[in-house]
Structure 1
Amino acid sequence: MQKWVMSGLFFVACGLALVLMFTLPGKQQVAEEAKPSMPEVTLDPAAAEATLKASCITCHGDQLQGGAAPALQQVGGQMDTQALFNVISKGRNGMPPFKDQLSPEEIANLALYLSEKK
C-alpha cells in the first residue's frame, strides 16, 4: 500500500512540474517586464511640469528640492532618460510605481524633462 502512495505522489509531482514548466514566464519575458520600453516622444515641457505638479511635488518638493524624497534639481546629471523612465514606471526605494497612474507617454515626457535637469 505504501508503495502505491509513494508512486502516486511521484506522478502528481511530475505532473505539477510539467504544468509549471509550461505556464511560468521565461527569462526573456521576465527581463522584458523588468525593463519597460520607453516610447518615442517629443519633449513637451508644459505637460511635464503639469505632471510634476500633479504627481511629484508632494514628495520631491515644489522646486524639486527634495523633502520626503530625494531632490531632483540635478537628477539628469546622475541618471539618463531610460533610467528615469524605469524608476518612474516601476518605483524604487519607497517610491511607488506610476505605470498605473500615468501613461507611458506621460512618463517618457517626464523622464525627458528630468534628464535635462543637470
Structure 2
Amino acid sequence: MVKKHLKETAILRRFAIIEVLRHEGTMHIGDLAQKFQVSKQTIHKDIDILTVCFNIQVKRGRYHSGVCLICDTGAKADTLNAAQVICLCTLLARVTEDERVILLSILYDFAPGFHSPSPNAKTA
C-alpha cells in the first residue's frame, strides 16, 4: 500500500511540475526541489521521466541552469493537461499497436510540446 501511495504522489508531483513550468517558464532544479519539498535528485528523476512525453529543455550551467517546457502554443481549452498526458503515456505501453496509433494521434493533436516516447522508455 505504501508503494502505491508513493507512486501516486510522484505522479501528482510530476503533474504539478509541468503546470509550474507552463506558468513560470524556466525554473531552477533547486527551486523546484524546495517548492515540492523533495531532493534535487528526485526532481532530476522526475524531469527525466517527464521528458519522455514532454518537450522539456534542460539548461545546464553554473549560474544559469534550469528547466523549461518548450511548446509552440499556449494552453488552450482544447488541449490535454499534464495529468491526462501522463496517463495516456502510461497506457501506451499496455495497448495493442492499433490502440497505440490512436493514443499517439490524440497526444499529437491535443498536447502541445508532446513528442513520441521510444518503445522502451520509462513512464512511471
Structure 2 length as normaliser, TM-score?
Answer: 0.28
Between structures 1 and 2, the one with greater strand share = 2
Between structures 1 and 2, the one with greater helix share = 1
Structure 1 length as normaliser, TM-score?
Answer: 0.29
Q: Which has the larger radius of gyration?
A: 1
